[in-house]
Amino acid sequence: MSVFFWAATAVMAVALGAAGVLALVTGRVSFPWLRRSVRRPGMWGAGALLMAVSLGVGRWVPSGIHLPLMLGGLALVLLAQTGRARGASPE
Distance CA 55, CA 8 (A): 10
What amino acid occupies position 79? L
Q: What is the DSSP letter of 20?
A: H
Distance CA 61, CA 35 (A): 33
Q: What is the DSSP letter of 38?
A: -
pLDDT in tens, the chain (91 residues): 688 888 888 899 999 999 999 999 988 888 888 777 888 888 999 999 999 999 888 888 888 888 999 999 999 999 988 866 555 555 5
